[in-house]
Structure 1
Amino acid sequence: MKTLNVARILTACVIVVLIIYLFNSTQNHNLKENRSDIRQFFTDGEQKKVVYNKHLQLFLDGHPSPAVGGKALFNHSLSYDQINRISHCRQYADVDWLKGAENFVKDKYVCINHHDYLKENNTILIEVGGNFGADASLFTAVYNPRHLIVEPIPYYATLLQEKFKDNPRVTVLNFGLGQKTETIAIEFKGEGSNIYSNDFGQKKINVSVINSTEFFQNLGVGIYSVDLLSMDCEGCELDVLENLLETGMVKYFKNIQLEIHSMAYFIDKENYLTRYCTLQEHMRRTHRLTYQYKHMWENWRLLDLK
């Protein structure tokens, strides 16, 4: 009887080991499939119109897609003090907006000069909204980090690819980031093209927008941290920030810099203020402001960084 029990225990152990092995094999297979999918995503599909080149290996190789766990930070309840600060933010928005605009004019290069840490080796900058490359050129000239630019408008994406074709540290991808993957129509009117404009007679073009969380996961964010996420995407900033907070991925970005666009402020002020002022309080859980021209430009840095 004793021998029979030992045999049963050994059999059970073998079964458990086999199950673990099969589970890990499946996970590894899925991991490889995910990495294969993201490469195919960057190369295939006329509708997506995205560009993949060898420089993206810098971001993909060795960085499998992470599983982001934990309770979403964005769903945490707000304290009494936080609710009061949101109310104050909404109440004095007009004053803050005018003051922010006035002061930013005096310090308009803060979005470039504020990031000396990018001089360190192998720092990573993800720039959302490249336009014709004014900021990208300055970032490259001053810091030359590993630099990924996401630009949804084909004209600008092509211009950026040509501009940085001789810099192996710069990668340009032709799509935008948002809360969900979709194709949207925008009015192309040069610099400042955005989803809010509705000018009669303006040429409309379709652009691809990718769910920001899925994009960052496929890049491997979470296995490593991004030194700076800089967003000047004519209105997508709050969408991306909300996604990062909802999933908890926000903690993998050491610095998050964003331009707040006045178009959203004037078109749907109540909705904009609700989102912006609430996001300010949720960001304080993991980050602190290092500069802010309210409703214009601001930078958030992880609490445990200098």
Structure 2
Amino acid sequence: MRMAMMYSRGVKLVFVCVCGTAMVMFVGTSWMNSHKEERAVIDQCGTNFTELSKLDSVKSLLPKASLKYMYKANGCNFVPRPYKKLTAKENHRKNRCVENFKLDHARGNGQFWEGETQYIRHTHHKYLTSDSIVLDIGGNKGEDAEAMIQAYHPGIYIILEPINSFFTALVKKFKNNKKVTLYNFGIAAKNDVFNVNIVGHGGDATSVFASNKGGKCELKVYNTTDFLYRLGGPCIDIDLITINCEGCEFEILETLLSSGLISRFKHVQFATHPNLKHLQRPVERYCEIQQKLARTHVLTYQYKFCWETWRRRSRA
């Protein structure tokens, strides 16, 4: 019996060897397993960023949008800015919302995932037409996009998906649909690049706000306002923005509200993820968003702290 010591990929391997053949088989198997793990990470993440990962790739909707969706006030540059601070009544309602979080979250989450209820996020949008514009933040595997495109055939459907492997799959899924535009990035409060691990069922729980932050897959995000101005900004009414991006909904909604761009969306649908490890004050932020959103929109369905949709009160 001999004791052997070898190095493989910078890792010291110590083992007892009965014969040379056994030693070679062990080292070979170890290297192959390591190679498979690295290959799996590449397959999950996708390869390098594409041209559609750049903010410069965003094309304005103005040449394509129907005239009835154009907004012409002060040269399309004027966006009403709402009050940033809550009133005394709004603060009272916000505090009640925070106090009732555990009960409301349990009820909303339980009801939404019971039976077929969850598909309200697809079936609720019968106002969509062949002229409609839809902005889908967090395309993932394209389940929501595919359901709404098949049901309503909107004229313009824009999907943002920052995970390269998912983006590639979406390109393949919608390659024959000229009404779908895809971008390989997300949006947030500011431009940034994150490293995450792909987690969840097929990667659908991947988040920069979860414990998987610091992984091997890169995600690009851009400032929400910059993206929307490149898209057409305050010059266009968008029928629906639907947001499901594992925690990014807070920054997106807060940016839309603080900039006044929320007034350009006829319907706002979003999922809420209040229990992600690295989210700052998610319950308080959700409850404040509720109060500010109620200034310009009204609820059309809600499973509190889970999924909901708001409709614009009137043209701003």
> Taking structure 2 as the reference length, what is the TM-score of the superposition?
0.74
Give how far 1:47 is off. Answer: 6.1
Structure 2 CA distance for partners of 1:247 and 1:219, relative to 1, 3 Å: same
Moved over 6 A (4+): 62-65
- 1:80 partnered with 2:88: yes
Q: CA offset at residue 58 of structure 1?
A: 7.4
Q: Structure 1 regions of 5+ residues with no counterpart? A: 1-45
**Residue number in structure 1 paired with 2:152:** 143
**Is this contact kept in 2: 1:68–1:247, CA < 8 A?**
no
Quick check: 1:237–1:259 contact (8 Å CA) kept in 2? yes
Q: What are the Cα deviations for residues 277-305 of structure 1, in whole angstroms up to 9, with x where unaligned? A: 11110001100111110000011110128
For normalisation by structure 1, the TM-score amounts to: 0.76
CA distance in 2, matches of 1:74, 1:156: 38
In structure 2, give the amino acid aligned to 1:59.
L
Q: Residue 233 of structure 2 aligns with which residue?
A: 221
Q: What is residue 193 of structure 1 aligned with on the other side?
A: 206
Per-residue CA deviations over 1:93-149 (Å, capped at 9, x if unaligned) read: 00000000111123110101000011x231000000000111111011111211000
Aligned equivalents of 2:222, 2:289: Cα separation in 1: 21
Question: 2:206 is matched by which residue type in structure 1?
Answer: S
* Residues 90, 274 of structure 1: 8 Å contact kept: yes
- Give the structure with the larger strand fraction: 2
State the one-letter code of the partner of 2:269. Q
Specify the alignment match of 1:157 in structure 2. Answer: 167
**Structure 2 gaps, min length 5:** 1-47
Which residue identity lines up with residue 191 of structure 1 in the other structure?
D
Distance in 2 between residues matched to 1:102 and 1:238, nearest whole Å: 22
Question: Structure 2 counterpart of 1:158, which letter?
Answer: T
**Structure 1 residues 168 and 294, CA, compared in 2 at 3 Å: closer, same or farther?**
same
Partner of 2:40: none
Amino acid in structure 2 at the alignment position of 1:81: K
- One-letter identity of the residue aligned with 2:241: L
Matching residue within 203, 208, 221 for 2:220? 208
The corresponding residue for 1:4 is none
Q: Which amino acid aligns with 1:248?
A: G
AA in 2 matched with 1:96 = D
Query: In structure 2, what is the equivalent of residue 104 of structure 1?
Result: 112
**Greater fraction of residues in helix:** 1
* Deviation at residue 224 of structure 1 after TM alignment: 1.4
Partner of 2:259: 247
Q: Which residue in the other structure is 1:278 paired with?
A: 288
Aligned mates of 1:112, 1:69 — CA distance in 2: 30
| Contact residue 58 and residue 230 of structure 2 kept, 8 A | no
Say which of 111, 123, 143 aligns to 1:134: 143
Aligned length in residues: 252
| Alignment partners' CA distance in 2, 1:252 and 1:234 | 24
Letter paired with 2:290: Q
The verdict on how the C-alpha distance between 1:207 and 1:60 changes in structure 2, with shifts beyond 3 A counting, is farther
Say whether the 8 Å CA contact 1:49–1:208 is kept in structure 2: no
Structure 1's 97 and 232: CA in aligned 2 closer, same or farther, altered over 3 A?
A: same
AA at the equivalent of 1:272: P
SS in 2 for 1:111: helix
Encode CA deviations 1:27-47: one digit per residue, 9 max, x unaligned.
Answer: xxxxxxxxxxxxxxxxxxx76
Rounded Cα–Cα distance in structure 2 between residues aligned with 1:48 and 1:244: 27
What CA distance in whole angstroms lies between the structure 2 residues aligned with 1:121 and 1:199? 40
> Which position in structure 2 is the counterpart of 1:124?
133
Amino acid at match of 2:298: R
CA distance in 1, matches of 2:50, 2:275: 27
Change (3 A) 1:181 1:57: closer
- Quote the Cα distance in structure 1 between the aligned partners of 2:78 and 2:160: 22
Instruction: Report how far residue 183 of structure 1 moved.
Output: 1.2
